[in-house]
Homo-oligomer: A and B are copies of this chain.
Amino acid sequence: MKAITQQIISLINERMEIAKEIGEIKQELSLNIIDDKIEQEIKNYILKESDRKGLDPEFAGRIINLLINESVKIQKSEINRKIQSNNLNKVNNNAFFKGIEKKNPSSPSNNIFSDIKIKTHMDVFNKAKQLDSLGQKIIHMEVGEPDFSPPNQVKDELNLIYDKHKYHYTETAGINNLRKKLAIYLTNFNNNKINPEICPENIIATVGGRFAIFCTFSSVLKPGDEIIVIEPAWPAYKDIANYLGVKTKVISTSLDEKWEPDISIIENSININTKIICLNYPNNPTGKILDEEKLQRIIELAKKNNLLILSDEVYCNFAYKKFTSILKFPYEKSIMIGSFSKTYSMTGFRVGFAYSLNKNLINKINKIQSLSLTSVAEPMQYCALAALSYNPIEYNNIMKKRIDFVCSKLNSLPFEFIYPDGAMYVFVKINENLGIDDLTLIEKLLHKGVAIAPGSGFGETYKNYIRISTCIDEEKLGKGLDIINQIVTSL
């Protein structure tokens, strides 16, 4: 046993020596350290081998991932060592070298040192908040947080929490009444009676929709697995996947194609490691809604390849054309993510939920939520339960009016866009003639007191786009759009 273990370590050492050499060669040829194709090739080969030999392929996959990660680490440090010694040769003034970040902000070598930069809508939000606190009045068109008050029922509930002692540990899945009422709500969603009825046992209340996604990914995915994300997309899917060592295969959609995903491209991107297709309709940031037939085709594809579909439907109550939920299809390997954040304007309450026909998946999510935080705060669960008594159609109507208003104003600007099918954003292409990218435009706008979200935060290829959020009233929206108008006409 000792001898074999020793041999294993010897070989691993040999492998790392080779990795070091390859690192040097890559550096000389300016090649990328990570070569997806070769990695996948090695992995597929080994998985086949270990399967043939009766070794648990999952375990073998983990070992391979460790080896590959260590190789990448070694190659990176080898390259960094080289760059550093090159730099040291070039720069004799050591003091200058240490201060390079501040003194030489636009030099390409700066990328190695700079850390904080605006990249997503959240970065803009944080910067805008900073400016707010310095006394500047910022018009917030960057963040997806409706300005409505939550339903009055929530206020009444908050006043009851203390006297009714609703502040204890609860079942991890959430209090019974909340899950029961959610089951009825979902069964009858959109007057579209779901058959068979949705059971409370297949629902779990989570700390926001985000935590439902985090737990789903954590329970289904292992390092080295892959998910499919249709872009432009909310960055969380990719971020969570990255965190878990999971690879994101991006399917790009375009304004020209009316944000329709191409099924054949999705199909071609599926391989042995693919585990989840993420859908998010009504879409953030485009507002796109998939029609029923397209959704069905994606489900067929998932069935054929035994993939889980995660359908993030947190914007389902903001729909300006017919919206079909994944709930309509009794596909066992699907999970629907919902939230009180947008529907009832309750972002800060942090209550979301997940529903799946697959009880086993709900149990796994339950296990992770139990392990990591016990349950959603009981007072917040009761507020969510209270909100379910309110019909949020009014919020939908107001949002639609704002979308109309913004779109009519945008028509006279050098932008291209499609009227959104749903959600609370307009995703806008900056006319190429303006010769400006999203981040530069956003910087200029922030200086003038308007915060909007950069397109590139929703996918690398969207740096000619901005996302305008309609979560403030028309007066403010009007002012913001006027400032945008001033800026772009002065370019």
Contact = CB atoms under 8 A, between A and B. Distances in A.
Interface of A: 1-2, 4-16, 18-19, 22, 42, 45-46, 49-50, 53-56, 59-60, 62-64, 66-67, 70, 143, 145, 149-150, 154-155, 158-159, 161-163, 165-170, 207-208, 210-211, 214, 223, 236, 239-240, 243, 346-351, 368, 371-380, 383
B169 A348 contact: yes
A373 B207 contact: yes
Contacts of A166: 348
Nearest to A19: B1
Nearest to A159: B159
Contacts of A10: 49, 53
Contacts of A236: 371
Contacts of A60: 9, 12
A147 to B, nearest CB: 10
Nearest to A239: B371
Contacts of A16: 55
Given A66-B66, A169-B347, A240-B371, A13 B150 contact: no
A150 B167 contact: yes
Closest 9 CB pairs of A and B: A348-B378, A167-B348, A155-B162, A214-B372, A350-B377, A168-B348, A211-B373, A207-B373, A13-B55
B42 A2 contact: yes
Contacts of A165: 149
Contacts of A59: 66, 70
A378 B169 CA distance: 18
A162 B154 contact: yes
Nearest to A243: B371
Given A63-B9, A373-B210, A374-B210, A145 B162 contact: no
Contacts of A162: 149-150, 154-155, 158
A66 B59 CA distance: 9
Contact of A377 (B7, B210, B377): B377
Given A63-B12, A168-B347, A46 B6 contact: yes
Number of copies: 2
A53 B10 CA distance: 8
B159 A145 contact: no
Contacts of A378: 348-349
A370 to B, nearest CB: 8
Contacts of A377: 207, 348-351, 377, 380
Interface centre among A56, A168, A374 (most CB of B within 10 A): A374
Contacts of A13: 50, 53-55
A223 B45 CA distance: 24
Nearest to A207: B373
B167 A145 contact: no
A161 B60 CA distance: 52
Contacts of A46: 5-6, 9
B350 A42 contact: no
Contacts of A372: 210-211, 214, 240
Contact of A8 (B12, B56, B149, B169): B12
A46 B259 CA distance: 49
B371 A214 contact: yes
Nearest to A53: B13
A347 B7 CA distance: 52
Nearest to A376: B350
B54 A208 contact: no
Contacts of A243: 368, 371
A169 B147 CA distance: 12
A9 B55 contact: yes
Contacts of A49: 6, 9-10
22 contacts: A1-B15, A1-B42, A5-B46, A6-B49, A8-B8, A8-B63, A8-B67, A9-B55, A13-B54, A13-B55, A59-B70, A66-B66, A145-B169, A207-B373, A210-B372, A211-B373, A236-B371, A243-B368, A348-B378, A350-B377, A379-B379, A379-B380
Given A5-B46, A5-B64, A371-B239, A348 B379 contact: yes
A140 to B, nearest CB: 11
Nearest to A71: B1
Nearest to A125: B169
Contact of A158 (B19, B22, B42, B379): B379
Contact of A167 (B66, B159, B346, B376): B346
Nearest to A59: B70
Given A9-B50, A10-B49, A10-B53, 15 more contacts: A4-B15, A4-B18, A5-B15, A9-B60, A13-B55, A143-B169, A145-B169, A150-B162, A167-B348, A208-B374, A210-B373, A236-B371, A243-B368, A350-B376, A377-B377
